[in-house]
Amino acid sequence: MQILAIVTGEFGHRNVRNIRANAPDSWSLETWQAPIALPPMIDYPEDHLPDVLPEADLILSFAENKGVAELIPEICKLSKAKAVIVAVNNESWLPLGLGQQLRGWLEEMNVVCATPRPLCSLTQKDFGVTRWERIKFNSPEIAEFASYFGKPDLKIVINQETNTIQSVDVIRDAVCGNTRYVAGQITGMPTEDVLYKAGLLHKHFPCLTTMTKLDDFDHETLMQESGHQLTESIEKQLKTE
């Protein structure tokens, strides 16, 4: 799979580093540094884009600027992309209304668009937009990406004699690498401590989601929601074991 990542700052660069370190060998990943500042209204997207972009099956937008969303349809034309994932780890990067517009624009182009809020709510079939709402999609490109990166998914083995974490395998990492980091730290930990410690480790990595409280997340922040995505996976494993 050919992937083109749009980056503007450290959030995107960290995601790209983790993907390159842990993606299948069959993937190729190119990056495009988007403009950091764009005008409030973009009449001619081509004025802010290069003449040529690498061909891609999937676009990953890690842009920390909502203006980049208005460039994405033209980016899809240049790259011939079939699907797009736009990370929404901060409300200012892609407000809900603009996200809905973007999905509509791309649907008219027969391009599937996922706007996971936060990015680590992405699975192979849907993504979160509020605490209670998830949107389904049908895209083999996004599904392939989300089989490796997105909503944390761990396989935990517990030592029943010592009641400690014997091993942790990462089935699906957060795009930023947070899940893999936490997994490496909780091995050997008493099971009674693991949920609390995992929550602390998630913040220490650090998670790069916003700390703004949101009504549609029960007045919690996207950083807290990201932490829930991780601890829910761990809690499910502990109950299974």
Domain residue extents for the chain:
2-146, 153-240
What is the structure's pLDDT at 212? Answer: 86
Q: How far is CA 167 from CA 56, 156, 184, 188, in A?
A: 37, 6, 9, 8
Neighbours of 189 (CB within 10 A): 15
What is the structure's pLDDT at 241? Answer: 57
Distance CA 28, CA 199 (A): 33
Architecture of domain 2-146: 3-Layer(aba) Sandwich (3.40)
User: Per-residue confidence of the chain (241 residues) as pLDDT tens digits?
Assistant: 999 999 999 999 999 999 999 999 999 999 999 988 777 777 677 777 898 999 999 999 999 988 999 999 999 999 999 999 999 998 889 999 999 999 999 999 999 999 999 999 999 999 999 988 999 999 999 999 999 999 999 999 999 999 999 999 999 999 999 999 999 999 999 999 999 999 899 887 877 788 888 888 888 888 899 999 999 989 988 876 5
pTM for the model stands at: 0.94
- Short-list 145, 175, 24, CA closest to 83: 145
Whose tokens are 């650090």? That residue is 206
Q: How far apart are the first and last CA of the chain?
A: 35
Buried b (16+ CB within 10 A) or exposed e, 49-69: beeebeebbbbbbbbbbbbbb
